[in-house]
Amino acid sequence: MSVAAYIILMAGVTYVIRMIPFTFFRKKIESKYVRSFLKYIPYAVLSAMTIPEIFKSTGNVATSVVGTIVAAVLAFLDLPLIVVALSASLAAFLTGWIMTLL
């Protein structure tokens, strides 16, 4: 299959996924349960895609756990995203470096 066919197929799938809600849900959704469910779907999907990759990224679960803990604590303290990301990366790097020295 050519690259053009893959691009056309991907565009079609993307269009269908975005078109379905507009086709079936013409009125405003009144149910507070459905609305709250739909509100949290992006967070759940993002977490489901990100969390497994965090623990595979360094090749060592210990360094990933340390980085994740640092990121969670700094995010809880409402620090900027760049500070959280750089600090978590530095913590994971330093943990791996210390583990190689031991």
For the purposes of burial, counting CB atoms within 10 Å of the CB of 78, is it exposed (0-12), middle (13-18) or buried (19 or more)?
exposed
pLDDT in tens, 12-71: 999 988 888 778 777 887 888 888 888 888 888 888 888 898 888 888 999 999 999 999
- Contact at 8 Å (CB) between 18 and 52? no
* pTM for the model: 0.61
Residues present in the chain in total: 102
Give whichever of 37-41, 50-54, 92-96, 98-102 has the largest mean pLDDT. 92-96
